[in-house]
Structures are given as C-alpha cells and as structure tokens.
A and B are shown apart, each in its own frame.
Chain A
Amino acid sequence: MRCQPAHTCFRAFAIALTLALASCRATYPAAPTTTDVSLLLLGGMTESLTWQGYAFRAFTLRADGAYEEVTETATWSSSDTAVMTPRAPSGYFWAAAAGTSVITVRKGSLVASRTVAVLDSGRLTYPRLSYTQGADLTPGASSYFTLWWSEVRTNNGWPYIWSGDVTSVAAWTSDNPSIVRVSGSALTGVSVGLTMVRASYNGISIEVLVSVYPSR
C-alpha cells in the first residue's frame, strides 16, 4: 500500500492542519476591572451621646460589584476633634463633648463623610425614645432593634428614669425599603447601604440610622 499520489497526502494534511489551527484560536471572556468606584461610610448612630465610643466602618464598592472593607486602611478624620475624637482602632471615635462634627473617611481619591450630632448625656430631656441594636444587618439577614421608652417617674417623692421596651408596640417605617425592609419590629437588610428607619410611640418618634453591611 502506498500513497497515490504522494502530493495528495501533503494536500490532505495541509488542509487538516489549517482547519485545526483555525479552530485552535482562542479568545476567552475578560474579567471586568476591579477599580473602586465609590466609598461607603457605615456605622454610628442617629444620636451620639457624650462619653461613649462609636465605631464607623468604610467599604469601597468596586467596578465588579464587590465590596472591600477598608476601615483599617482608610484615613479617618473628624472636623471637630473636641466633639468626636479619633481613637484606635481605625474608624473608632470618642464622643467627648456635645456639638456636631463631620466624620470623614478617605481611600485614595474617594471620600465619604457624615455629620454627627453629639448630645450631652447629662442633659437629656424626657420622655424620650432610644434604641439598642442587635447584630449587624446584612442583605437577607434580620436583626432586632429594641426601642426603649424612657420617662421620669417618682418613688416616694424621688424622681428616677424609668425605661420600658416598647419595640413591639411602636410603629416602624423605613425611609428606603430597598435598603431595609421593616416587618413588624423586625428589620431585614435588603441591600448594602445606610437609611433611616423611623419608630414612633406615644406621640414621639425617633430616627434610627440603620447600616446594612455587605455580607462575607
């Protein structure tokens, strides 16, 4: 058995090789860029009281939709360090005196800031509403805020501050349901961000600043 004629072998192999090489050209999808497009400043509370510490956290949102926590690596500052004094660790501030201060965080060319009002914890007026927060909210997760009603009562002529849990009887509404959804007194994170949730009881309302953090 032999090639008939020999050049047909070469021709066949040449065609096969050309087609095989043509099919071998590869172009694969490219991943999107990972540049940071925005900086989020989350954390803190609506009402900051003196002689308490407040932790803020910073996140960059990348072009590919992912978040990166930069609390440790970002630069934090307070416009009035007498009111909000930066302390360690990074992003932690001490409310030293009543007043307002702008908390600013910088990461590269990105800047985020928030104005914080500090109340003198010794000069609070009653009755008043306050809240405490459970676990940090993340999208899809729920967290319970406890709403406290505080008023001045007397006992044998001695005034004292009485506080009661009115969470379940208060009316809750979210300023931005796309960030936080309210169901009864349960708050469920919807997407990363910061929004105000309002709770009212007995004719008094309070703004609850709720941060929804990116999940891991």
Chain B
Amino acid sequence: MRHAIAIASVTLFILFAPRTAGAQDNPVPSSAMPEITQVRGDLYRVRDGQVYTIFVVTPEGIILGDPLGRESALWLRDELKKRYRQDVRFVLHTSHDYRRAAGSPVFNDTADIEAHVSFSAEVAKARHHDFAHYRFSARMGAGFTDTRTVTLGGRTVRMIHVPSPRTPESVVLLFPGERIAFAHDVPWIGRPPFTFRGLSPADVMAWLGTLAALDYDTLLLGDGRTIARETIDAYAGYLRAMHDAVIKGVGDGRTFAEILAGTTLDQFSGNPHFPARVSQLSELFSAVKYSALRLSAGATVNYVVRASAFCAAWTACSAGGAVHAGRVAAAVAVSRSVEILGEMYVSGQTVSSRTTPDVDEEGATRRTRGAVLLRWTPAPAKFSVAVVAGPSVTVEDVKGFDTVRGVLLPRGGSHPIEQRESRAGATLGFDLDFAISPNVSIRMPVRMTMMRPGKGTYTDSSSDVQVGIELAFRLAHRVAVK
C-alpha cells in the first residue's frame, strides 16, 4: 500500500509539476548504460536513455516487453542471461517505433515475437520513409487483433490492442499478478488542462474505455512516467461526463450554447482539466458525428403555374392553379446540418380547358413527383431554417377529351386524351422547422420546381410552387464523437 501511495505521489508530481526544462518529458536523466530496476516482485523495468521497457522473470524464461533498439537489445540479451540465467522466451511489441522495436531480431533464436496484426505494415511503412532506423526492424507474421495472452512459467501477461490514430499497432501490456499496465505512450495525458490538439476524441474515449476495463492500479509509460489508476479514472470520468453531455445534447437537438449552459460539470470543479471546460466541450461538440433517419408527412398546397405556350392560339384557356397534395419524405441526416432527403408527393388534379370556335379540350392532370434533395440547416436549433435543392422527376398523367365541331367523324366529335410523361427538373426551396420535442417537429416545406419543357400536347405547366405543413418524426438517430 505504501508502495502504491509512493508511486501515485511521484506520478502526481510528474503530471502536475510545472514543466521546466523538459522535466516531464524526461522524468529520469539519461545515462550511457541501460539500467534495470525492480517494479514489483519479478517485474522489472529497463531504462535506456529516455526509453523504457518492462520484463517479467519466470522459472521458464523471461517475457520481455519492447526489445528496444538493436544495441540495447544486444545488451539486454546478455544482461538478462547473466542476471537471471534465463533466455527471453517472449518479446511483446507495444509499438513499431525503432527505439522500442528494432532489437527484436536479437531474440529470434529463443523467443516468440508477438505483436498486433498491423505491426508489420507499420514497420514496412516506416522503413520506406526511414530505412536507416528501421533496417533492423523485423516484420511479423500473423499477429493478433484484439488481445493475446502469453503464459510462461506460471506467469501471465495480456496484450491488449488500444486504438491510436498515430500508432495503429499500439498495445498495452497487462501484468495481472503485479496489477501493472504498461503502455508505450499516452499522448493525450500531459500537462493540464487537457486539449485534444487534433486527436480524435473517439480514439481518446476508446483508449480510456479499454484501460478502464483492465484490472490494474498503476500504469507505467514508455517514457518512464508512472500514473496511478485513480488519476486516469478521474480524467476518464471527467471526459466521459463531458462526452455524455455532448452526446445527449446533440441527440436532443440542442445548440452548443445550450449544451454549454446545461453542462456545468460542477462535480468535477476540482479536476485539473476543468478550467478548460469550454474549449474541451467545443472540441467534443465539433467532433460529433450525427446521423438520423426522419420521416415526415403532411398536406401541401400545390400551385401549378400555367405554361404560356399551352394557351397560345386558343381563344379561351384555363390551366394550372392551386390544388391539394399529399407529401411524404424520408431523410437521412449525415450530420447535424446536412440531410439527404428523398421526398415524394402525389398531387390532386388540376383541370385545364381550352377552346377555339371549332375545338374544345378539357383534361385533368395529376402530378406525382419524386425528388432527391440536399437539405442544409445552417444553424440547427429549436426553430431553424433549412435550404433544400436537388433534382426531381415529375410524372404527369393527363386524362380528358377533346371535341372537334363542324367536321365529319372520325376527325369530328369527342376523342379521349391520355398522356403520360416523365419530366426531369430541379427542385429548390426551404423548410421552416419548429421542434416540439427531440423526435417530433412541425415543418413547413416550401418548394419550387422547374421542369424541362414537356413534349406532350397537353402539358400545361413547366413549374409549380408548393407550400405545406407537416409533421416530421425522427425515427432513429445515432450520435457519436469521431
């Protein structure tokens, strides 16, 4: 217990002491020769300058963490053999960095080399860019994806893959017997207050989530730092609370200002990261990935604008006008501001008639339209305005008859009119949205559609305007940080 308190004290000092002369980045002064120190029981730590690794001695051999650079590995092989009269039987890579991994081939004769499945690819990439440093780095065969457990001489070491954008092969080693975890780096834990600094919040949360699931009380880092679990848990709890508040707020359709006002996090006021709460919330809010499925339906008034050509050369003519229509739309939100909207409406009939002294014509036109629109809400809020635009296809069904007077049958008399035509067009407009709950809003869609000129004789319109009122339901949604 006293040992743990001592480690935690040192850790807190390291973490929160003023950063002077790089003291935090170099917690232990470098020396020419590597140095082995005991951590707990048979668990030892090796310092090689600013790089640390770890190993555990068992009756059947040694399980070594990162083998370090080639020179250090050669030294380590001999030193371990000399000290413990044991060979290294396992090498467990936590990173492909040459300072940590280049010595791996030194142990090929005696040890199984274990690493994450992406280790070899990362080595290959690094060798391509920096051959000098990576020329000795060995590529692995098949690695593991999530976890691997290594057992030797009654001792167990677990390798747990942790997500990290910079080092996809990143692994944490867990020594259950000693309740010690070892990670080559935790880049986001530095001097408070914390900032994501371009890191993916999702990766940070996943990293912390992975660590939280492990049974350990002290985390040793590859740069020599030692961090007590309580410190990480406090940090993770603070971030988790902030994360959850942002997720819920976005899910409820709140603006950043509303989320900020409702996320005081008073219980974390003593946390060293708390003073930067606003910027942290802002970073999390910016990293939110929102998706949703909405369905809306309602009634619309469709005003069909009469095409002037339809009435040319007729003595009397009427067409277009306002009719009712039913509208249904399904939208997939790809972010809080952008939705891909598929909408369809079925319009009531417009009746057109035109006359000359010899001919009467009367027809009813039904329009059915499908449109795929991009919907952009510049400022999502309880009351918001969204702009929509996109291509549409209108199917027009015309049915009626004409009557030709004064001539003989069959030209004379009444003839049925039947015309079906599909016309491409462009639809644009806007929606006025009033959210009455996170999942339901009242929406007023306004659309204007311009269609290509019709080829049919009875096409009476090339544009229309719709104004409607409808209910929009959010059927499902997902909010996550990226």
Tell me whether A12 is interfacial, beta carbon within 8 Å. Answer: yes
Q: Contact: B475 with A23, CB < 8 Å? A: no
* B405 in complex: contacting residue of A13, A16, A24, A66, CB < 8 Å: A66
Report chain A residues within 8 Å CB of B366. Answer: 26
Q: Contact: A31 with B403, CB < 8 Å? A: yes
Report chain B residues within 8 Å CB of A28. Answer: 349, 363-364, 399-400
Binds A, one of B98-106, B164-172, B325-333: B325-333
Tell me whether A27 is interfacial, beta carbon within 8 Å. Answer: yes
B418 and chain A: residue at smallest CB distance: A28
Q: Contact: B408 with A32, CB < 8 Å? A: no
Alpha-carbon separation in the docked complex, A30 to B326 (Å): 25
8 A Cβ contacts from A5-52 to B: 8-9, 11-13, 15-16, 18-32, 34
Q: Contact: A191 with B406, CB < 8 Å? A: yes
* Interface SS of B by simple majority: strand
* B439 in complex: contacting residue of A4, A16, A24, A66, CB < 8 Å: A4
Report chain B residues within 8 Å CB of A191. Answer: 406
Question: How many pairs, one residue from A and one from B, have CB atoms within 8 Å of each other in the complex?
Answer: 130
Q: Contact: A29 with B401, CB < 8 Å? A: yes
Q: Contact: B414 with A16, CB < 8 Å? A: no
Alpha-carbon separation in the docked complex, A23 to B324 (Å): 7
Alpha-carbon separation in the docked complex, A125 to B298 (Å): 88
Q: Contact: A26 with B364, CB < 8 Å? A: yes
Q: Contact: A34 with B413, CB < 8 Å? A: yes
Given contact pairs A12-B471, A29-B399, A31-B403, enumerate 14 new A-B contacts (beta carbons under 8 Å): A1-B291, A1-B477, A2-B476, A3-B475, A9-B473, A9-B475, A28-B363, A29-B351, A64-B413, A64-B414, A65-B406, A66-B403, A66-B405, A67-B409
Q: How far is the CB of B247 from chain A (nearest CB, A)?
A: 14
Most chain B CB neighbours (cut-off 10 Å) among A16, A34, A139: A16
Tell me whether B416 is interfacial, beta carbon within 8 Å. Answer: yes
Q: Contact: A19 with B362, CB < 8 Å? A: no
Q: How far is the CB of B470 from chain A (nearest CB, A)?
A: 8
Tell me whether B85 is interfacial, beta carbon within 8 Å. Answer: no
* B475 in complex: contacting residue of A8, A20, A66, CB < 8 Å: A8
Supposing A19-B297, A29-B351, A215-B408 touch, asked if A64 and B476 sit within 8 A by C-beta, the answer is no
Tell me whether B307 is interfacial, beta carbon within 8 Å. Answer: no
* B411 in complex: contacting residue of A1, A20, A139, A216, CB < 8 Å: A216
8 A Cβ contacts from B407-433 to A: 407-409, 411-414, 416
Report chain B residues within 8 Å CB of A30. Answer: 401
Interface string of A188-205 (1 = CB under 8 A from B): 000110000000000000
Tell me whether B340 is interfacial, beta carbon within 8 Å. Answer: no
Q: How far is the CB of A14 from chain B (nearest CB, A)?
A: 9
Alpha-carbon separation in the docked complex, A71 to B362 (Å): 32
5 contacts between A and B (CB under 8 A): A12-B295, A27-B349, A27-B364, A215-B408, A216-B408
Q: Contact: A1 with B406, CB < 8 Å? A: no
Interface, chain B (partner A; CB < 8 A)? 291, 293, 295-299, 324-328, 345-349, 351, 362-364, 366, 399-401, 403-409, 411-414, 416, 439-440, 471, 473-478
Report chain B residues within 8 Å CB of A99. Answer: none
Most chain A CB neighbours (cut-off 10 Å) among B328, B345, B404: B328
Supposing A66-B404, A66-B405, A214-B408 touch, asked if A20 and B364 sit within 8 A by C-beta, the answer is no
Tell me whether A120 is interfacial, beta carbon within 8 Å. Answer: no
Supposing A27-B349, A64-B413, A67-B412 touch, asked if A19 and B327 sit within 8 A by C-beta, the answer is yes
Supposing A15-B471, A28-B399, A214-B412 touch, asked if A23 and B407 sit within 8 A by C-beta, the answer is no
Tell me whether A128 is interfacial, beta carbon within 8 Å. Answer: no
Q: Contact: A16 with B440, CB < 8 Å? A: no
Report chain B residues within 8 Å CB of A216. Answer: 407-408, 411
Supposing A12-B297, A191-B406 touch, asked if A23 and B326 sit within 8 A by C-beta, the answer is yes
